[in-house]
Amino acid sequence: MKKILLISGLLFILASCTKHLSELNIDSKNPVVVPSETLFSNAQLNLANDLATPNVNVNIWRMIAQHWTETTYTDESNYDLSTRPIPQTWWHTMYRDVLKNFEEAKKLIATDVTDANIKKNELAIAEILEVFSYHYIVTTFGDIPYSEALDFNKVQPKFDDAKTVYDALIARLDAAISNLNTSAESFGSADLLYGGDVAAWKKFANSIKLKMGILIADSDPAKSKTMIEAAYTGAFTSNNDNAAFQFLAAPPNTNPVWVNLVQSGRKDFVAANTLVNVMKGLNDPRIPLYFTVNAASGYSGGIYGASNSYATFSKPSLTIQEPEFPYTFMDYSEVEFILAEAAARGMSVGGTAEFHYNKAITASIIDWGGTNADALLYLAQPSVAYTTATGTYKQKIGMQKWIALYEHGHDAWTDWRRLDYPQLVKPASALSDIPVRYFYPVSEQNLNGANVAAAVAKLSGGQDVVTVKLWFDKF
Protein backbone atom coordinates (compact mmCIF):
# COMPACT_ATOMS: atom_id res chain seq x y z
CA MET A 1 0.00 0.00 0.00
CA LYS A 2 2.88 2.36 0.88
CA LYS A 3 4.51 1.59 -2.50
CA ILE A 4 1.28 2.46 -4.33
CA LEU A 5 0.97 5.75 -2.43
CA LEU A 6 4.64 6.56 -3.10
CA ILE A 7 4.31 5.88 -6.83
CA SER A 8 1.08 7.88 -6.98
CA GLY A 9 2.75 10.77 -5.20
CA LEU A 10 5.71 10.70 -7.56
CA LEU A 11 3.42 10.65 -10.57
CA PHE A 12 1.50 13.64 -9.20
CA ILE A 13 4.72 15.59 -8.57
CA LEU A 14 6.00 14.69 -12.03
CA ALA A 15 2.75 15.81 -13.63
CA SER A 16 2.79 19.05 -11.64
CA CYS A 17 6.38 19.74 -12.60
CA THR A 18 5.66 19.04 -16.27
CA LYS A 19 2.69 21.43 -16.20
CA HIS A 20 4.74 24.07 -14.38
CA LEU A 21 7.65 23.78 -16.83
CA SER A 22 5.30 24.14 -19.81
CA GLU A 23 3.80 27.27 -18.28
CA LEU A 24 7.27 28.79 -17.98
CA ASN A 25 7.43 28.84 -21.77
CA ILE A 26 4.42 31.18 -21.94
CA ASP A 27 5.26 34.88 -22.08
CA SER A 28 2.34 36.43 -20.21
CA LYS A 29 3.33 39.91 -21.41
CA ASN A 30 3.28 38.88 -25.07
CA PRO A 31 0.27 36.58 -25.46
CA VAL A 32 -0.28 34.51 -28.59
CA VAL A 33 -4.02 35.26 -28.59
CA VAL A 34 -5.17 38.83 -28.03
CA PRO A 35 -8.81 39.97 -27.70
CA SER A 36 -10.04 42.33 -30.42
CA GLU A 37 -10.87 44.96 -27.80
CA THR A 38 -7.25 45.05 -26.60
CA LEU A 39 -5.92 45.62 -30.11
CA PHE A 40 -8.51 48.33 -30.73
CA SER A 41 -7.73 50.15 -27.47
CA ASN A 42 -4.00 49.90 -28.14
CA ALA A 43 -4.42 51.36 -31.63
CA GLN A 44 -6.41 54.30 -30.22
CA LEU A 45 -3.67 54.95 -27.65
CA ASN A 46 -0.91 54.72 -30.25
CA LEU A 47 -2.72 57.10 -32.57
CA ALA A 48 -3.24 59.62 -29.77
CA ASN A 49 0.42 59.36 -28.79
CA ASP A 50 1.63 59.84 -32.36
CA LEU A 51 -0.48 62.95 -32.91
CA ALA A 52 0.12 64.46 -29.46
CA THR A 53 3.80 63.81 -28.79
CA PRO A 54 6.34 66.62 -29.13
CA ASN A 55 9.13 64.05 -29.39
CA VAL A 56 11.32 65.34 -32.22
CA ASN A 57 11.96 61.82 -33.47
CA VAL A 58 8.28 61.41 -34.30
CA ASN A 59 6.24 64.61 -34.50
CA ILE A 60 7.62 68.07 -35.31
CA TRP A 61 4.45 69.67 -36.70
CA ARG A 62 4.19 72.14 -33.83
CA MET A 63 7.47 73.51 -35.17
CA ILE A 64 6.54 73.37 -38.87
CA ALA A 65 3.27 75.17 -38.07
CA GLN A 66 5.37 77.72 -36.10
CA HIS A 67 3.37 77.35 -32.89
CA TRP A 68 6.47 76.27 -30.92
CA THR A 69 10.16 76.75 -31.52
CA GLU A 70 13.29 75.27 -30.00
CA THR A 71 15.95 76.41 -27.55
CA THR A 72 19.33 74.69 -27.87
CA TYR A 73 18.79 72.14 -30.63
CA THR A 74 17.20 73.86 -33.61
CA ASP A 75 17.47 71.24 -36.36
CA GLU A 76 13.75 70.53 -36.58
CA SER A 77 12.75 74.21 -36.64
CA ASN A 78 15.06 74.51 -39.63
CA TYR A 79 13.45 71.55 -41.41
CA ASP A 80 16.23 69.02 -40.92
CA LEU A 81 14.29 65.77 -41.34
CA SER A 82 17.37 63.60 -41.97
CA THR A 83 19.62 63.84 -38.90
CA ARG A 84 16.84 62.16 -37.00
CA PRO A 85 14.92 59.83 -39.37
CA ILE A 86 11.65 61.65 -38.68
CA PRO A 87 9.70 60.57 -41.79
CA GLN A 88 10.75 56.97 -41.16
CA THR A 89 9.68 56.96 -37.50
CA TRP A 90 6.31 58.54 -38.32
CA TRP A 91 5.76 56.04 -41.15
CA HIS A 92 6.63 53.01 -39.02
CA THR A 93 4.60 54.03 -35.97
CA MET A 94 1.52 54.80 -38.05
CA TYR A 95 1.61 51.66 -40.19
CA ARG A 96 2.86 49.19 -37.57
CA ASP A 97 1.45 50.49 -34.28
CA VAL A 98 -1.78 52.09 -35.44
CA LEU A 99 -3.07 50.73 -38.75
CA LYS A 100 -1.92 47.15 -38.20
CA ASN A 101 -3.61 47.04 -34.80
CA PHE A 102 -6.89 48.32 -36.25
CA GLU A 103 -6.67 45.84 -39.11
CA GLU A 104 -6.00 42.87 -36.80
CA ALA A 105 -8.77 44.01 -34.45
CA LYS A 106 -11.22 43.94 -37.37
CA LYS A 107 -10.20 40.37 -38.24
CA LEU A 108 -10.87 39.22 -34.68
CA ILE A 109 -14.13 41.15 -34.41
CA ALA A 110 -15.37 39.38 -37.54
CA THR A 111 -14.82 35.96 -35.96
CA ASP A 112 -15.17 36.51 -32.21
CA VAL A 113 -18.13 38.87 -31.74
CA THR A 114 -21.33 36.85 -31.86
CA ASP A 115 -23.97 39.59 -31.76
CA ALA A 116 -24.45 40.71 -35.37
CA ASN A 117 -25.39 44.31 -34.53
CA ILE A 118 -22.50 44.81 -32.13
CA LYS A 119 -20.12 43.25 -34.64
CA LYS A 120 -21.31 45.62 -37.36
CA ASN A 121 -20.83 48.65 -35.10
CA GLU A 122 -17.38 47.60 -33.94
CA LEU A 123 -16.19 46.94 -37.48
CA ALA A 124 -17.54 50.33 -38.57
CA ILE A 125 -15.85 52.18 -35.68
CA ALA A 126 -12.49 50.49 -36.33
CA GLU A 127 -12.90 51.35 -40.01
CA ILE A 128 -13.55 55.03 -39.17
CA LEU A 129 -10.33 55.30 -37.20
CA GLU A 130 -8.39 53.42 -39.86
CA VAL A 131 -9.60 55.93 -42.47
CA PHE A 132 -8.73 58.78 -40.09
CA SER A 133 -5.21 57.37 -39.64
CA TYR A 134 -4.64 56.94 -43.36
CA HIS A 135 -5.71 60.57 -43.84
CA TYR A 136 -2.63 61.67 -41.88
CA ILE A 137 -0.25 59.40 -43.77
CA VAL A 138 -1.41 60.24 -47.29
CA THR A 139 -1.48 63.99 -46.57
CA THR A 140 2.09 63.72 -45.28
CA PHE A 141 3.74 61.81 -48.12
CA GLY A 142 1.44 61.70 -51.17
CA ASP A 143 1.47 58.30 -52.92
CA ILE A 144 1.68 55.54 -50.29
CA PRO A 145 1.25 51.77 -49.95
CA TYR A 146 -2.48 51.19 -49.58
CA SER A 147 -4.02 48.35 -51.59
CA GLU A 148 -1.08 46.06 -50.71
CA ALA A 149 -0.33 47.54 -47.28
CA LEU A 150 -0.74 45.64 -43.97
CA ASP A 151 -0.37 42.25 -45.73
CA PHE A 152 2.68 40.37 -44.45
CA ASN A 153 2.78 38.44 -47.72
CA LYS A 154 3.44 41.74 -49.53
CA VAL A 155 6.89 42.63 -48.26
CA GLN A 156 7.38 45.16 -51.06
CA PRO A 157 3.95 46.77 -51.44
CA LYS A 158 3.27 49.03 -54.39
CA PHE A 159 2.57 52.72 -53.89
CA ASP A 160 -0.95 53.79 -54.85
CA ASP A 161 -1.85 57.17 -56.30
CA ALA A 162 -2.64 59.59 -53.47
CA LYS A 163 -5.86 60.95 -54.95
CA THR A 164 -7.06 57.40 -55.70
CA VAL A 165 -6.28 56.41 -52.11
CA TYR A 166 -8.17 59.42 -50.76
CA ASP A 167 -11.23 58.68 -52.89
CA ALA A 168 -11.16 55.09 -51.61
CA LEU A 169 -10.94 56.32 -48.02
CA ILE A 170 -13.95 58.58 -48.55
CA ALA A 171 -15.94 55.62 -49.88
CA ARG A 172 -14.91 53.52 -46.88
CA LEU A 173 -15.95 56.28 -44.50
CA ASP A 174 -19.37 56.59 -46.14
CA ALA A 175 -19.89 52.83 -45.84
CA ALA A 176 -18.86 52.87 -42.18
CA ILE A 177 -21.27 55.72 -41.39
CA SER A 178 -24.14 53.85 -43.02
CA ASN A 179 -23.29 50.73 -41.00
CA LEU A 180 -23.48 52.44 -37.61
CA ASN A 181 -26.57 51.41 -35.64
CA THR A 182 -27.24 53.76 -32.74
CA SER A 183 -29.71 51.26 -31.24
CA ALA A 184 -26.96 48.71 -30.66
CA GLU A 185 -23.85 48.65 -28.46
CA SER A 186 -20.20 48.49 -29.46
CA PHE A 187 -16.86 48.32 -27.60
CA GLY A 188 -18.04 49.64 -24.25
CA SER A 189 -15.17 50.62 -21.94
CA ALA A 190 -12.60 49.26 -24.43
CA ASP A 191 -13.37 52.33 -26.53
CA LEU A 192 -11.07 54.93 -24.95
CA LEU A 193 -12.58 57.78 -26.93
CA TYR A 194 -16.37 57.56 -26.54
CA GLY A 195 -16.93 54.55 -24.26
CA GLY A 196 -18.79 52.69 -27.00
CA ASP A 197 -21.33 55.48 -27.64
CA VAL A 198 -22.34 54.78 -31.24
CA ALA A 199 -24.26 58.05 -31.63
CA ALA A 200 -21.10 59.95 -30.68
CA TRP A 201 -19.14 57.94 -33.22
CA LYS A 202 -21.63 58.85 -35.92
CA LYS A 203 -21.11 62.55 -35.19
CA PHE A 204 -17.33 62.09 -35.22
CA ALA A 205 -17.47 60.19 -38.51
CA ASN A 206 -19.52 62.94 -40.15
CA SER A 207 -17.07 65.51 -38.80
CA ILE A 208 -14.20 63.54 -40.37
CA LYS A 209 -16.16 63.60 -43.62
CA LEU A 210 -16.24 67.41 -43.39
CA LYS A 211 -12.50 67.44 -42.77
CA MET A 212 -11.84 65.24 -45.78
CA GLY A 213 -14.33 67.14 -47.90
CA ILE A 214 -12.74 70.54 -47.28
CA LEU A 215 -9.28 69.11 -47.98
CA ILE A 216 -10.24 68.48 -51.60
CA ALA A 217 -12.14 71.75 -52.08
CA ASP A 218 -9.57 73.07 -54.58
CA SER A 219 -8.72 69.76 -56.26
CA ASP A 220 -12.27 68.38 -56.60
CA PRO A 221 -14.79 71.14 -55.78
CA ALA A 222 -17.88 69.22 -56.92
CA LYS A 223 -17.10 66.22 -54.73
CA SER A 224 -16.17 68.51 -51.85
CA LYS A 225 -19.53 70.26 -52.05
CA THR A 226 -21.46 66.98 -52.15
CA MET A 227 -19.61 65.60 -49.15
CA ILE A 228 -19.90 68.69 -46.98
CA GLU A 229 -23.55 69.37 -47.70
CA ALA A 230 -24.37 65.72 -46.91
CA ALA A 231 -22.38 65.57 -43.66
CA TYR A 232 -22.74 68.88 -41.85
CA THR A 233 -26.11 68.20 -40.18
CA GLY A 234 -24.74 64.99 -38.65
CA ALA A 235 -21.45 66.45 -37.38
CA PHE A 236 -20.45 67.97 -34.02
CA THR A 237 -22.84 70.60 -32.69
CA SER A 238 -21.03 71.60 -29.46
CA ASN A 239 -17.80 71.12 -27.53
CA ASN A 240 -19.49 68.25 -25.73
CA ASP A 241 -19.06 66.21 -28.91
CA ASN A 242 -15.28 66.68 -29.16
CA ALA A 243 -13.26 63.53 -29.86
CA ALA A 244 -10.97 63.92 -26.85
CA PHE A 245 -8.65 61.06 -25.86
CA GLN A 246 -8.19 61.21 -22.09
CA PHE A 247 -4.72 60.37 -20.84
CA LEU A 248 -4.16 59.16 -17.26
CA ALA A 249 -2.54 60.94 -14.33
CA ALA A 250 0.07 58.24 -13.73
CA PRO A 251 2.47 56.47 -16.12
CA PRO A 252 2.60 54.70 -18.47
CA ASN A 253 -0.49 56.08 -20.24
CA THR A 254 0.15 59.75 -19.61
CA ASN A 255 0.02 62.79 -21.86
CA PRO A 256 3.14 62.59 -24.08
CA VAL A 257 3.65 66.35 -23.69
CA TRP A 258 4.08 65.76 -19.96
CA VAL A 259 6.38 62.82 -20.69
CA ASN A 260 8.64 64.86 -22.96
CA LEU A 261 8.57 68.20 -21.14
CA VAL A 262 8.08 67.38 -17.45
CA GLN A 263 9.01 63.78 -16.74
CA SER A 264 12.09 64.05 -18.94
CA GLY A 265 13.19 67.30 -17.32
CA ARG A 266 14.14 68.68 -20.72
CA LYS A 267 13.89 72.34 -21.67
CA ASP A 268 13.78 72.08 -25.44
CA PHE A 269 10.76 74.18 -26.41
CA VAL A 270 9.36 77.67 -26.01
CA ALA A 271 6.49 79.49 -27.67
CA ALA A 272 7.23 80.67 -31.21
CA ASN A 273 7.23 84.42 -31.77
CA THR A 274 5.20 83.78 -34.94
CA LEU A 275 2.11 82.73 -32.98
CA VAL A 276 2.64 84.83 -29.86
CA ASN A 277 3.05 88.08 -31.81
CA VAL A 278 -0.16 87.45 -33.77
CA MET A 279 -2.13 86.64 -30.62
CA LYS A 280 -0.79 89.69 -28.79
CA GLY A 281 -1.62 91.91 -31.74
CA LEU A 282 -5.21 90.62 -31.71
CA ASN A 283 -5.63 90.79 -27.90
CA ASP A 284 -6.44 87.10 -28.03
CA PRO A 285 -7.91 85.89 -24.71
CA ARG A 286 -6.42 82.41 -25.25
CA ILE A 287 -2.82 83.53 -24.88
CA PRO A 288 -2.64 82.80 -21.10
CA LEU A 289 -4.36 79.49 -21.78
CA TYR A 290 -1.82 78.52 -24.44
CA PHE A 291 1.37 79.84 -22.80
CA THR A 292 3.04 80.74 -19.51
CA VAL A 293 4.22 84.26 -18.77
CA ASN A 294 7.81 85.08 -19.68
CA ALA A 295 10.63 86.30 -17.44
CA ALA A 296 9.20 89.82 -17.58
CA SER A 297 5.69 88.65 -16.57
CA GLY A 298 4.34 89.19 -20.07
CA TYR A 299 4.15 87.00 -23.15
CA SER A 300 6.86 86.58 -25.73
CA GLY A 301 7.99 83.91 -28.13
CA GLY A 302 11.44 82.79 -29.07
CA ILE A 303 12.66 83.69 -32.55
CA TYR A 304 11.45 80.90 -34.78
CA GLY A 305 14.30 78.69 -35.98
CA ALA A 306 16.95 80.38 -33.83
CA SER A 307 18.58 79.30 -30.59
CA ASN A 308 16.49 80.72 -27.72
CA SER A 309 16.85 81.08 -23.97
CA TYR A 310 14.42 78.78 -22.18
CA ALA A 311 14.29 81.07 -19.14
CA THR A 312 13.49 84.19 -21.14
CA PHE A 313 10.43 83.28 -23.21
CA SER A 314 6.90 81.96 -22.67
CA LYS A 315 6.51 78.19 -22.59
CA PRO A 316 3.56 75.88 -23.30
CA SER A 317 1.03 76.42 -20.52
CA LEU A 318 1.10 74.31 -17.36
CA THR A 319 -2.33 72.95 -18.31
CA ILE A 320 -0.97 71.48 -21.54
CA GLN A 321 1.84 69.92 -19.52
CA GLU A 322 -0.44 68.10 -17.08
CA PRO A 323 -0.07 64.30 -17.24
CA GLU A 324 -3.80 63.73 -17.83
CA PHE A 325 -4.33 66.56 -20.36
CA PRO A 326 -6.32 65.03 -23.27
CA TYR A 327 -5.44 64.99 -26.93
CA THR A 328 -8.40 65.99 -29.08
CA PHE A 329 -8.54 64.22 -32.43
CA MET A 330 -11.10 66.70 -33.69
CA ASP A 331 -13.25 69.39 -32.08
CA TYR A 332 -16.36 71.45 -32.69
CA SER A 333 -14.34 74.57 -33.45
CA GLU A 334 -12.69 72.84 -36.41
CA VAL A 335 -16.10 71.74 -37.69
CA GLU A 336 -17.37 75.33 -37.60
CA PHE A 337 -14.26 76.64 -39.38
CA ILE A 338 -14.85 74.06 -42.11
CA LEU A 339 -18.45 75.23 -42.44
CA ALA A 340 -17.33 78.88 -42.54
CA GLU A 341 -15.00 78.07 -45.43
CA ALA A 342 -17.66 75.97 -47.14
CA ALA A 343 -20.15 78.85 -46.93
CA ALA A 344 -17.56 81.24 -48.32
CA ARG A 345 -17.12 78.86 -51.24
CA GLY A 346 -20.87 78.96 -51.94
CA MET A 347 -21.96 75.72 -50.29
CA SER A 348 -25.26 75.36 -48.43
CA VAL A 349 -24.33 74.65 -44.82
CA GLY A 350 -27.04 76.29 -42.72
CA GLY A 351 -25.51 79.73 -42.33
CA THR A 352 -23.18 82.35 -43.71
CA ALA A 353 -19.40 82.30 -43.53
CA GLU A 354 -19.55 84.98 -40.82
CA PHE A 355 -22.07 82.98 -38.78
CA HIS A 356 -19.90 79.85 -38.73
CA TYR A 357 -16.66 81.84 -38.29
CA ASN A 358 -18.06 83.44 -35.13
CA LYS A 359 -19.22 80.07 -33.80
CA ALA A 360 -15.82 78.53 -34.52
CA ILE A 361 -13.87 81.18 -32.64
CA THR A 362 -16.34 81.17 -29.74
CA ALA A 363 -16.15 77.37 -29.45
CA SER A 364 -12.35 77.48 -29.37
CA ILE A 365 -12.18 80.18 -26.69
CA ILE A 366 -14.72 78.41 -24.46
CA ASP A 367 -13.11 75.00 -24.95
CA TRP A 368 -9.78 76.38 -23.79
CA GLY A 369 -11.36 77.83 -20.64
CA GLY A 370 -12.44 81.29 -21.74
CA THR A 371 -15.98 82.66 -21.56
CA ASN A 372 -18.64 83.72 -24.01
CA ALA A 373 -17.97 87.32 -22.94
CA ASP A 374 -14.30 86.87 -23.88
CA ALA A 375 -15.37 85.64 -27.31
CA LEU A 376 -17.74 88.57 -27.86
CA LEU A 377 -15.05 91.12 -27.00
CA TYR A 378 -12.55 89.39 -29.25
CA LEU A 379 -14.96 89.18 -32.19
CA ALA A 380 -15.94 92.85 -31.78
CA GLN A 381 -12.44 93.96 -32.77
CA PRO A 382 -12.23 95.19 -36.39
CA SER A 383 -9.06 93.14 -36.86
CA VAL A 384 -10.99 89.97 -35.96
CA ALA A 385 -14.59 90.60 -37.09
CA TYR A 386 -15.29 88.73 -40.30
CA THR A 387 -16.64 91.76 -42.17
CA THR A 388 -13.67 94.00 -41.36
CA ALA A 389 -10.68 91.68 -40.89
CA THR A 390 -8.01 91.96 -43.55
CA GLY A 391 -8.04 89.91 -46.71
CA THR A 392 -10.01 87.21 -48.49
CA TYR A 393 -11.97 84.46 -46.78
CA LYS A 394 -8.87 82.27 -47.05
CA GLN A 395 -6.84 84.83 -45.15
CA LYS A 396 -9.46 85.53 -42.48
CA ILE A 397 -10.41 81.91 -41.86
CA GLY A 398 -6.85 80.66 -42.36
CA MET A 399 -5.46 82.99 -39.70
CA GLN A 400 -8.11 82.27 -37.07
CA LYS A 401 -8.13 78.53 -37.75
CA TRP A 402 -4.33 78.42 -37.41
CA ILE A 403 -4.65 80.02 -33.97
CA ALA A 404 -7.45 77.65 -32.93
CA LEU A 405 -5.54 74.58 -34.11
CA TYR A 406 -2.89 75.10 -31.45
CA GLU A 407 -1.89 71.63 -30.21
CA HIS A 408 -3.08 70.19 -33.55
CA GLY A 409 0.19 70.63 -35.38
CA HIS A 410 -0.45 68.38 -38.35
CA ASP A 411 -3.90 69.88 -38.98
CA ALA A 412 -2.50 73.42 -38.72
CA TRP A 413 0.23 72.48 -41.22
CA THR A 414 -2.30 70.95 -43.61
CA ASP A 415 -4.63 73.95 -43.54
CA TRP A 416 -1.68 76.30 -44.05
CA ARG A 417 -0.78 74.27 -47.14
CA ARG A 418 -4.35 74.52 -48.46
CA LEU A 419 -5.14 78.13 -47.64
CA ASP A 420 -1.64 79.69 -47.73
CA TYR A 421 -2.47 81.67 -44.59
CA PRO A 422 -1.03 82.83 -42.37
CA GLN A 423 1.94 83.76 -44.53
CA LEU A 424 4.65 81.89 -42.64
CA VAL A 425 8.28 82.74 -43.36
CA LYS A 426 11.08 80.20 -43.20
CA PRO A 427 14.08 80.92 -40.92
CA ALA A 428 17.18 82.35 -42.56
CA SER A 429 19.07 79.21 -41.53
CA ALA A 430 16.45 76.75 -42.87
CA LEU A 431 17.66 73.82 -44.97
CA SER A 432 14.73 74.25 -47.37
CA ASP A 433 11.54 76.17 -47.93
CA ILE A 434 8.79 75.28 -45.46
CA PRO A 435 7.98 71.59 -46.12
CA VAL A 436 4.73 70.83 -47.90
CA ARG A 437 5.30 67.06 -47.68
CA TYR A 438 7.74 64.57 -46.18
CA PHE A 439 10.20 62.67 -48.32
CA TYR A 440 9.93 58.88 -48.21
CA PRO A 441 11.61 56.97 -45.37
CA VAL A 442 15.14 55.67 -45.91
CA SER A 443 13.93 52.21 -44.87
CA GLU A 444 11.47 52.19 -47.77
CA GLN A 445 14.13 53.39 -50.16
CA ASN A 446 16.39 50.53 -49.06
CA LEU A 447 13.85 47.72 -48.78
CA ASN A 448 11.23 48.71 -51.34
CA GLY A 449 13.37 50.72 -53.74
CA ALA A 450 11.64 49.95 -57.04
CA ASN A 451 8.22 51.00 -55.74
CA VAL A 452 9.62 54.12 -54.09
CA ALA A 453 11.35 55.04 -57.34
CA ALA A 454 8.06 54.65 -59.24
CA ALA A 455 6.31 56.94 -56.75
CA VAL A 456 9.09 59.54 -56.90
CA ALA A 457 9.00 59.53 -60.70
CA LYS A 458 5.41 60.80 -60.51
CA LEU A 459 6.35 63.78 -58.33
CA SER A 460 6.82 67.15 -59.98
CA GLY A 461 10.42 67.27 -61.12
CA GLY A 462 10.88 63.60 -60.29
CA GLN A 463 12.60 64.37 -57.01
CA ASP A 464 11.70 63.13 -53.52
CA VAL A 465 11.88 66.51 -51.80
CA VAL A 466 9.81 68.40 -49.22
CA THR A 467 8.87 71.25 -51.55
CA VAL A 468 6.70 69.26 -54.00
CA LYS A 469 3.01 70.06 -53.47
CA LEU A 470 0.55 67.20 -53.00
CA TRP A 471 -2.63 66.68 -55.01
CA PHE A 472 -4.90 68.78 -52.79
CA ASP A 473 -2.52 71.75 -52.55
CA LYS A 474 -3.40 73.56 -55.77
CA PHE A 475 -2.51 77.20 -55.14
The model's pLDDT over 316-360, given as tens digits with 9 standing for 90+, comes to 999 999 999 999 999 999 999 999 999 999 999 999 999 999 999
Q: How far apart are CA 162 and CA 378, in angstroms?
A: 40
Give the pLDDT of residue 34.
84
- For residue 31, what pLDDT band results from cuts at 50, 70 and 90? low
Residue 310 in any domain: the answer is no
Residue 79 in any domain: the answer is yes
Residue 263 in any domain: the answer is no
Residue 22 pLDDT > 70, yes or no?
no
Give the pLDDT of residue 372.
98
Q: How far apart are CA 37 and CA 123, in angstroms?
A: 11
Residue 410 in any domain: the answer is yes
Q: For the chain, how many residues are written?
A: 475
- pTM for the model stands at 0.93
The string of pLDDT tens digits covering residues 213-264 is 999 999 999 999 999 999 999 999 999 999 999 999 999 999 999 999 999 9
- For residue 52, what pLDDT band results from cuts at 50, 70 and 90? very high
Give the pLDDT of residue 14.
41
The string of pLDDT tens digits covering residues 174-202 is 999 999 999 999 999 999 999 999 999 99
Element (H, E) at 86: helix 86-92
Summarize the confidence of residues 446-475 as an average pLDDT.
97
Residue 115 in any domain: the answer is yes
Residue 2 in any domain: the answer is no
Distances (CA, A) of 312 to 37, 240, 285, 404: 47, 37, 22, 25
Strand ranges, E, within 142-261: 144-145, 159-160, 243-245
Residue 475 in any domain: the answer is no
Summarize the confidence of residues 27-36 as an average pLDDT.
71
- For residue 9, what pLDDT band results from cuts at 50, 70 and 90? very low
Domain count, the chain: 1
CATH number at residue 87: 1.25.40.390
Residue 10 pLDDT > 50, yes or no?
no
Summarize the confidence of residues 93-118 as an average pLDDT.
97
Q: How far apart are CA 96 and CA 60, in angstroms?
A: 20
Percent of the chain residues past pLDDT 90, beyond the cut: 92
- What domain range includes position 46? 36-244+325-462
The string of pLDDT tens digits covering residues 127-136 is 999 999 999 9
The string of pLDDT tens digits covering residues 253-312 is 999 999 999 999 999 999 999 999 999 999 999 999 999 999 999 999 999 999 999 999
Residue 401 in any domain: the answer is yes
